[in-house]
Structure 1
């Protein structure tokens, strides 16, 4: 089903029905789930304007989940494409806000995607909750202990079978 052209109802409905108020600097994050735990490791997904979710496989490979559409709340102008992935026991799915990759060091350097991806690959041998906590510590250290300029959110989910 990967790359299906079908419109995904939860994203499409939200895109048509949700209208931002006058505050364009507000961000809404949503997740829709039908089944937890996922039956047999199958995950159907759709993105709506956030950084691409990341799957870290037990074999050390990393996969970006690219299917989706534009920002939610633009009146359903563009359909949302969905895809399905297959997780195997030990695979991890990470959802995060752009505040993670856009965290600045004292020198003005971005934490960036590559640093995040390298960290997630290295942390795959740790329990998922420990890896997320270690990432938060790494970000604070990277930023010299300064407060982030944007929201910093990350959620890690491990499929255990």
Structure 2
């Protein structure tokens, strides 16, 4: 196995790969582990973990490693690691027994942990501010807005870059209009070369709770899609991950419905699309067609009350040049007018058919104008997300 691991392919991976012998010596490390360890490779290979990190044998991490080594079992943990310099980092570790000792896959989750801690602290601060309304309400309101702007910056760091997302396709649109400063709706993608995984998701609620759920969802998708690109399996794993993550959370009562999501694996070369959805459909408008083709989702949410082992339907589709795919949250169709009249899914669908002759960028402008005219100055009641891709 040591010889196999020496293959330079592993050095191009973001995850760390290391092989530890039965006497706790480093046998192999890829480039990611070298960066994570803060030691040159030649100062680790052949040395024991105790020689490089004195006192590590007294930590919970080492207890877990020793248990895996002795009992020949696999474990997965999240660990805060303290370096000799005093710096700290968080890592998700997957430990597996192998003939030479143990194999450790490590993923640096420091930024995620810092962002989660910042958001949780922010949420606590907001709850305290709301509870302590005083005569200085105007000043406190400014503090809240400043905090939400800070939360917005954190959320933007999680979201894909808008221009990069749109440039993945020859002709595409993206409308992302939060109800509040931060949003419970999110778009996401992973570029696999000839294939792209594309997501439009709607988390329960909006504001800070919805934003926090969206960032947890993005982080889970980042990890899950490293292991599988099958849309139905991604949703299956996402549902399990969200249930585990939210089970002990203080905001669980606010997020019982979890997350609705539409997910596609798109082959840019062949035009084939594999779709799987949790409460969110996909719409296809074929070139020169006069009706919308609705690809139904599984009528279950991600997380919340959904069963731990819930499976999600998969649909294989073939799109031709000029066909258009739409993924969206329910916010657009649920917009109310100044007469308290809901736009409805039917009206949304009809408007898309009316503007099919336009480019996607022009459709984006028309869709934004249409929803603003429909609202006629009334307050937006939900986050709005629409993704459109023309083949």
Q: TM-score, normalised by structure 2?
A: 0.36
Structure 1 position 87 matched with structure 2 position 319: yes
- Structure 2, gaps ≥5 residues long: 1-229
Looking at CA atoms only, which structure, 1 or 2, has the larger radius of gyration?
2
Q: Which moved more, 1:128-137 or 1:6-15?
A: 6-15
> Which residue of 325, 345, 348 corresponds with 1:116?
348
Tell me: higher relative CO, structure 1 or 2? Use CA pairs within 8 A at least 6 residues apart: 1
Corresponding residue SS for 2:284: strand
Q: Does 1:63 align with 2:293?
A: yes
1:125 aligns with 2:357: yes
Q: For residue 68 of structure 1, report the CA deviation from its aligned partner.
A: 2.9
Looking at structure 2, the residues matched to 142 and 13 of structure 1 have their Cα atoms a distance apart, in angstroms, of: 38
Instruction: Tell me which residue corresponds to 1:53.
Output: 282
Contact 2:332 2:385 in 1 (8 A): yes
Label 1:25 to 1:153 Cα distance change in 2 as closer, same or farther (>3 A).
Answer: farther
In 1, the alpha carbon distance for the partners of 2:256 and 2:240 equals 20
Q: Distance in 2 between matches of 1:112 and 1:99?
A: 10
8 Å contact from structure 2 (residues 260, 301) kept in 1: no
CA distance in 2: counterparts of 1:65 and 1:111, whole angstroms: 21
More strand by share: 2
Runs of at least 4 residues of structure 1 off by over 4 A? 25-36
- Structure with higher helix content: 2
SS at match of 1:114: helix
**Cα drift, residue 143 of structure 1:** 0.8
Length-normalised TM-score, structure 1: 0.83
Counterpart-to-counterpart distance in 1, 2:256 and 2:373: 27
Within 5 Å, give how 1:6-25 maps onto structure 2: 8-19=232-243, 20=246, 21=249, 22=252, 23-24=254-255
Give the unaligned 5+ runs of structure 1: 1-5
Task: Give the alignment partner of residue 44 of structure 1, picking from 274, 280, 298.
Answer: 274
Cα distance, 1:126 vs structure 2: 0.3
RMSD: 2.4
Deviations along 1:35-78, whole A, 9 cap, x unmatched? 552x411100101123x221111122310111435101134343
Aligned residue-pair number: 152
Instruction: From 376, 380, 383, give the equivalent of 1:148.
Output: 380
> 2:85 maps to what in 1?
none
User: 1: CA distance between counterparts of 2:297 and 2:259?
Assistant: 19
